[in-house]
Copies of this chain bind each other. A is one copy, B any other.
Amino acid sequence: MGPGGAVSMSPPAAMLRAMTLDRLPTPCALVDLDRLERNACAMLERARRLGVRLRPHVKTHKCVEAARIQTAGEHDGITVSTLAEARAFAAAGFRDITWAVPVALDRLDECAELVRRTDRFRVLVDHPRAVAELEVFAAAQGLRCELLLEVDCGLHRSGVDPDRPEAVAVAAAAHGSPHLQLAGILTHAGQSYRCGSRAEAAKVAIHERDVMVAFAGRLRAAGIAAGEVSIGSTPTVTAANDLSGVTEVRPGNYLFFDASQAAIGSCTLDELAFSVLATVLGVYPERRELVVNAGSLALSIDPGPVHVNPGCGFGVVVTTTGQRTIPGLRVVSLSQEHGVIRSDRRLAPSWQPGSRVRILPNHACLAAACFDRFHVVRVSEIVDEWHPVRGW
């Protein structure tokens, strides 16, 4: 049992590392290290070509080892989604961290601790109340806090509306404070997940950039320097051709990719680095169905890219080596520990209880969060085991 954490009743790590892939207890999470390294290199190269800094998001994998590969071993700036990630990655040597969710005002003490422990810990704001409370807090703590103003470029989730005068007013309040430093502006074009192709995502990328560059211009006109112009989402960064005026990008999913990203054109299926290994529990020839032991607690129940492929189901079924899609199989439903796979043809007699498959999940960020450990493989050889951060 971890310190105050959940009870872990799994076999010990040493035992698992000594295992071969075909002996691993299922369901379990596999990370294909060859693919992950290729995805990491490709994004570093893409950022270089586009002339922007890559500040990768670690929320998809939440593993220090993966972040080191993302930053090519340099421990450069990263993006996190939780304070738990920030603490763990700071403890592992990452000293430049952006928490890319609007700051929770009841967790400022933990933010102060991170400001003290790192070289740079930036938090997001999009509301005058947050700026006012941060100012009082920073003054009381004797700290100078770096803020990024979140801008809504079309997702309509969080962020100021850049067309409203309040947007500049929030920036001005931060800019004018002796205890705060407005480091720049940040957006996430999450609407790109609803695209149907790379070409559509490229259009969203242009819009994302244009909104941010225009807003940075309005801030400058008001006498406010927004040094950082930060954008980020795997579909837009993957599809962008010109990021003039942008200083940094924050994609995260790209390191694993997933079935949704493949469907919307960010990658191909053979670039997917995360999968779930599962065992067939039951075979139902009359229904042309198999039941496997990967349910909604192993794959999550993200409905996937239904806007591109209404029949996508809950993941793509591939062979145990992960190299080949098995034609005609579809994960049609999930319950807590059962996944139902339907075949569009008669089931081959080789399907028996005990057979195994890998499933490429619809949404790697959610599926990865189902697991306390990832088995890291090169093709079929287990080469490492990584432990993601959990909680908040």
A residues apposed to B, CB below 8 Å: 1-13, 16, 23, 25-28, 59, 81-82, 84-85, 87-88, 91, 101-107, 110, 126-127, 129-130, 133, 156-159, 161, 164, 190, 279, 281-283, 286-287, 289, 291, 293, 296-298, 300-303, 333, 335-338, 340, 352-354, 356, 365-366, 369-373, 385, 387-392
Contacts and interface: CB of A to CB of B under 8 A. Distances in A.
Contact of A9 (B157, B283, B389): B389
Given A81-B336, A281-B101, A302-B301, A12 B8 contact: no
A133 B158 CA distance: 55
B6 A101 contact: no
Contacts of A85: 9
6 contacts: A5-B372, A81-B337, A133-B353, A156-B287, A164-B286, A336-B365
Contact of A7 (B9, B289, B302, B389): B389
Given A1-B387, A101-B293, A391-B10, A366 B336 contact: yes
B8 A391 contact: yes
Given A6-B8, A133-B354, A296-B366, 7 more contacts: A1-B3, A5-B10, A6-B387, A81-B337, A103-B281, A104-B354, A130-B353
A300 B164 CA distance: 34
Contact of A2 (B8, B282, B286): B8
Nearest to A282: B158
A127 B157 contact: no
A1 B353 CA distance: 35
Contacts of A388: 6-7
Nearest to A124: B281
Contacts of A161: 286
A5 B129 contact: no
B338 A101 contact: yes
Given A6-B390, A373-B6, A366 B301 contact: yes
Given A129-B353, A338-B158, A352-B129, A390 B105 contact: no
B5 A8 contact: yes
Contact of A354 (B5, B28, B105, B387): B105
A125 to B, nearest CB: 9
Nearest to A108: B354
Given A25-B107, A353-B127, A369-B297, A7 B390 contact: yes
